[in-house]
Structure formats: structure tokens, C-alpha cells
Structure 1
Amino acid sequence: MARLAAEIEQARADAIVEGSLVLPQAFHELRKLNGAIIQHAERFISDEGESRSLLSIKGAAELMRNNFDLLEALSNIESMKTLPIDSTVNVYDLAFKMKRVYQEKAASRSMTINVQGIRAIIRGSQKSFPLVPAVLLENAIKYGTEREQIYIGVHQRGQRAALIVENVSRHKIDPDRCFDRGVRFASGVEGGGFGLFLAKEVVLAHRGTITCEATGDLIRMVVDLPLHAVIA
């Protein structure tokens, strides 16, 4: 039995190693295919003007791109955490981009997204850091109360930048454990409990912190990062 258990454990370890080699490339190819859909939708919008159908197709493809980014990161999280963070990221512009990507999904639940604040610049990875506001906004929509507003704020606190996402939710959350891998608090809502875990790992790689505050039905996610500059 001991020998059999050891063989099973070795087979599991081998499968993880093999998956870590194959999955990132597979997700990369899927992202390329999805990117072609976005490009064609943008071309049709440019040539024929905006329509609800084209905007819905483009919005769905952009959501899929974010999901592929998350899956690719999860399949190779150690590499994601070691990406160079020597580029600049405009946190406000990124938050506004995420609002545009997720506004159709929010509208399907009669929710609105309000972005306010300053154009704070941080040093970071333009590949990994966008996962953070994407996860926070998607969770706010998924677990939030219908017909409520989601607030995204970008603020300066001394030499630090703060990205804040607030929403109203009837689902209870444990502020101390919500960033643990695989932890979920709403069994009736789809999800694997990996989004906040991944967001935390990316924030830590950017020399920042992420915390959760729960006051009644108000859920407040706060990302604190070193501030590089502010654009007027």
C-alpha cells in the first residue's frame, strides 16, 4: 500500500509538471484566436458603426480574454509572480478600461460602475497587474446585489497609490481568509475560489498589499501600492 501510494503521488507530480508545460501555451493560443474576434469586431464597428450586437460580441470576447489571462496565470503562477515590474501602469486608465469591458455584464444585473480618482502611475507589469482590477470588478458583479452601484476609486496616500473597489453584497465574506487559495463563500455562484488568491499574489509581486473590509453589506477591497507618479 505504501508503494502504491508513493507511485500515485509521483504520477500526480508528473502530471502537474506536464500540465505546467502544456497549459500556458494552450491558453496563449486560445487568447490569439479570441484576439482575432476582437479585431474583426473592431473593424466592423469602424466600417459600419456601433450596433448592440457588435458591441456585445466585442464585450464577450474581451471578457474571454480576461478569463484566459486568469487561467494562464493560474497554470503557471510562479512565472507570473516573477515577471519584470519595470514598466509603468496607469491605474486609473486601467480601471476605466475594465469598466468598459465589464459594463455589459454589470448591466445584465442592473448594476452600474462608477470610476473616480486620480491618474496614478505605478511601476509594474502590464501583463500581470491588469488581472487585479479584473478579478476585483468581476467579483463585485458576480457576488454583488442587483441594481446597486460598484465604486472604483484611485487615490493617493502620501507616497502610495490606493485602488479601491466597493460593492454591496448579501453574501458574507471572511476578510481574513478570502484571499486563500480555493476559499469560496457563495455555493450558489460559479467560481473556483482562485481569483482573489491570484490577485493577492500579483499585488505582493508588485510590493503592495491587498485587504478586504466588510461592514454590514458593504464589501471594500483595498489595494495599496508604491506610487511612481501622478498625471494631471
Structure 2
Amino acid sequence: MKIKWLIFLGYAVLLGAGFFFLVRFVAGDVRSQLAKATEVSLVDMANILAGVIETDMESPTPAVARLALVFNGSKSRRFSAKIYELTKSKVDVRVYVTDQRGIVIFDSDDGRAKGAEFSKKNDVFLTLQGKYGARATREDPTNPLTSIYYVAAPVHYEGKIVGVVTVASPVANLNLFVQNSRRKIFVFAASAFLMVLLVSYLISLWITGPVKRLELYARSVGKEPRKPLPELGSGEMRVLGEALVDMQAELEGKRYVEETVQALTHQLKGPLSAIRGAAELLNEDMDVEARRQFLNNISREGDRIREIVDRMLNLAMVEKRKTLDNVVSVNLFDLAKETTDTLAVLHAGRSICCRVEGDSVLAVPGDRFLLQQALENLIQNAIAFSPDDSTITVKLVREKSRGVVHVLDKGAGIPDYAMDRIFNRFYSLPRPDTGQKSSGLGLALVREVALLHKGSIALENRPDGGVIATLRLPLRAD
């Protein structure tokens, strides 16, 4: 399972458990809190009624005549009171009064309990002892909705408790408020939990996002060696990313050295063998002309070794760079014109014409020195493989967000077998006029310069003969 989902599920399970217990506690506590509020109101009412009875007393027996009149009148009252979700249309409160022995002398419920002995019931029993008396009793022992709260207050006469007045209220109305409150709590909790799940998912994305970007970077470095390190923040992931870059550079450096030494050794074998052979022959007797020819061979092969080493160092300098340092606006038309003028000496005796045409104001951001080297190698190749009395055209065009340099020649073209290897280091085709090969590093350098500028290079055979080299460069820096 992906770490993103592990983090998300971990958050969901922990928060879900927390929400479950919290909602369970709050929902269960609603009834208790409402019951407490109801009991407070019943205490007030019981004591008010006890005060009314005490006002009318002329003997130790509680005076209940006024209570009887009040409750007889309240039963005939018709009203409609909208209390939030409850519509109340009758008085639900029951009041009964006992004497000091616990015998009921008044019951507002049509005298249902009058004459009954309630001295054993907690509300009466505790109140007669001078304590707070209250109880909750179910009319139907199997149905909690039939519970009734009873709260009592003492009736005093000449400083002594001579009776008890109890106020009773059913919980049926209270249950309606409890159920509605619980329903709202559950709806709110479910909505909050879904919101928390969404936040948990976003947090998991925030945590694993840098990991995913680092993974994609690690997978792509083989195909895009100059791809920059993605944005990883400033924490541990950034440190890990930089460590990965350092490790990649170290591994690439080791592999590069191995490959370069092998390739360079292979390339130097030919010139060194030629020099050694010529030197051995020079120890023998020969005429002056033959000796001069062998000396020229040694000089030519020495120049070839120097060219290979110089170009290899130049290529290595470009390959080890990850970004451009000296970025300026480079006019490609002026650069192409300057390069063709510099290389005019190479085709002076072959009647080859180099012309530059196209967008004269086409400019791209880049390193002018490196771009000049790239153009120089492309034009040198075109000159080397062009027949005498031919024309090489450097054409500059603008394509959307790219500046494009086309170098067109009229040579023999690139054989099919060489097309896939043309940009490999040390790979070279024999020149048509001399049969000799170059160092094979020029086009490799062009490719590295193009990649460093986030551009591309392509070579294709032209339908009417020759080759077209296309260098594409972005018009704006990233």
C-alpha cells in the first residue's frame, strides 16, 4: 500500500475513533444535562408552592384549598405554546401534598393518590428528615420514556416540618428535545468527520507530495541527466533530494571516467600505432623524401592526438555542467555570420560558398561561447562533407517559442547504419575527399550544448541530397 494511503488511513482511524467516543459521550450527556436543568426548575416551583401553602396555614395541617382552586382552574385552560420542536397545549405538571406522616392530603391528578401513604418514597421520606428529597420513577418499568421526575420541598409551621409538597414532571417532553439534540449532534459530527477526512487526505498529499516528486525525479535522471531537482521545501525531503543529487553526480562521475578512459584509449591506439611504426622505420636507411613523409605522418598523427584530447576536454567541460552560468541574449544571425566568416579559411580552396539568411533579429538566451562552438561544429561538418563548388546555407527561423538554426549542405548524406550513432562520442564517418575520420566528438558536443540550453539537435537527410542539421533553442529562459 502506498504511503499516501497509509497516512490517510492512519489519520482516518485515529480521528474516527476520537469522534466516536466524543460523540458518544456528548450524546449520552445531553439527557443528563437537560434533566439537571429540569430538576432546577422543579426545585424552584416546589419551594414557591410550599411558600404559598405556608402563607395560608393556621394549624399544623398544610392548607391546600388554594392549590385545589388553582389546579382545577388550570385544567380548563386551553393554550398553544410553540417551544422549538414542541407544541404544548396542556399543563403536564402534577403536584401532591402530604402531612407530616406522609399521608397524601392533596393530589392535582384528580385526587388519584389522596389518602395514600407516601412516607416510604424518597421525595417525601428525605424531605421529612430535613434533607433534599427527589426521585425518578417509571410508570411502566419496561419503558424509560414513562419516567417522571419528582422533586419535593418541606412545608413549615412554627419552625417545624409539618408536610411535604412534591412537584412531578414527565420526561416525555424532555425526550423530544433529547432526540432532536442527539440528531443534530450526529449530523454535525458526521459532517465534521467528512471534513476531517478531506483535510487528512490533503495532509497526506502534502506530506507525500515531495516524496512522489523525488521518486519521479529519480526515475527520470537517466533519461534527462540535466533535469533540475524539483521543489521539495526546506525540510528533510530537501536534504534527501540534495543527497540523491550528490550521489547521482558521484556515480555518473565514476561511470563517465570509466567510459571516457576506455573510449579515449581506443581512439588513441590508431595514432600512437602510426607514430610508433613511423619512428621504427626512421631508424632504417632511407632516402630524404621517404624520411620527410614519415616525419609528416608523425606530425599529422600528433596533431590528431592533440585534437582528440582538446575536444575531449572541451566536451567534458560541457557535460559536467548542470546549468548555464553566463546567460545573455545571443543574436543567432550575427553569431552564424561571425562563425561562417571565421571558418572561411577551411573552404577557401574548394570554392564552397557559405551564406546566412533568415530572421536577422532572432535572439535566444544562452551562453554565447557554447552556442558559437555548437554552430562551428555543425558548419565544419557541413564543409567537410560538401563537394567542391557547392553552397552551404545557414537559415534562421522563428517557430512559436523556439529559435531554429538550419544548416543545409549538398553532400552525400548520412548512411542509414550511422543514423542512430551519429551523436555518439568518437563516432565519425570518413571524409569523402580524404577518407580520414575526425575525432568524433563534434556532434556529441553540439548535443550537450543543446541539452544544456533545454533545446534539441537533429540531423536528417534531405530529399534532394545532402543533410539538414536543425538546432532548436527556447526563446525564453525557464
**TM-score grouping bracket, smaller chain normalisation:** 0.5 to 0.7
Aligned counterpart, 2:458 = 211
Instruction: Give me the identity figure in percent.
Output: 26
CA distance in 2, matches of 1:124, 1:69: 23
Aligned counterpart, 2:428 = 184
Q: Secondary structure at the match of 1:163?
A: strand
TM-score (norm 2): 0.33
Which residue type is aligned with residue 372 of structure 2? P
Aligned counterpart, 2:162 = none
More strand by percentage: 1
Larger Rg: 1 or 2?
A: 2
Select between 73-82 and 147-156 the one with higher mean Cα deviation: 73-82
Aligned counterpart, 1:115 = 356
Instruction: Please provide the CA RMSD for this pair.
Output: 3.0
- Say if 2:397 is the partner of 1:167: no
Q: Secondary structure at the match of 1:127?
A: helix
CA distance in 2, matches of 1:67, 1:149: 28
- Say if 2:346 is the partner of 1:105: yes
1:221 equivalent among 452, 461, 469: 469
- Say if 2:84 is the partner of 1:84: no
Distance 1:178 1:80, change over 3 A: same
Q: Secondary structure at the match of 1:98?
A: helix
Distance 1:73 1:83, change over 3 A: farther
Q: Secondary structure at the match of 1:168?
A: coil
Residues 1-232 of structure 1 mapped to structure 2, 5 A cutoff: 70=311, 72-80=313-321, 82-84=323-325, 86-118=327-359, 119-170=361-412, 172-173=414-415, 174-186=418-430, 188-215=435-462, 217-228=465-476
CA distance in 1, matches of 2:333, 2:440: 26
CA distance in 1, matches of 2:380, 2:313: 17
CA distance in 1, matches of 2:322, 2:383: 26
Q: Secondary structure at the match of 1:95?
A: helix
Q: Secondary structure at the match of 1:130?
A: helix
CA distance in 2, matches of 1:138, 1:81: 26
CA distance in 1, matches of 2:380, 2:450: 17
CA distance in 2, matches of 1:69, 1:122: 28
Q: Retained in 2: the 8 A contact 1:120–1:156?
A: yes
CA distance in 1, matches of 2:338, 2:446: 18
Which residue type is aligned with residue 98 of structure 1? T
Post-superposition CA distance 1:148-194 (Å, at most 9, x none): 10000110011111000000112534333211112112161341111
Q: Retained in 1: the 8 A contact 2:460–2:468?
A: yes
Aligned counterpart, 2:75 = none
Distance 1:180 1:160, change over 3 A: same
**Which sections of structure 1, spanning at least 5 residues, go unmatched?**
1-11, 17-65
**Which sections of structure 2, spanning at least 5 residues, go unmatched?**
1-256, 262-306
Which residue type is aligned with residue 454 of structure 2? R
CA distance in 1, matches of 2:347, 2:426: 25
Structure with higher RCO (Cα < 8 A, 6+ apart): 1
Q: Retained in 1: the 8 A contact 2:356–2:393?
A: yes
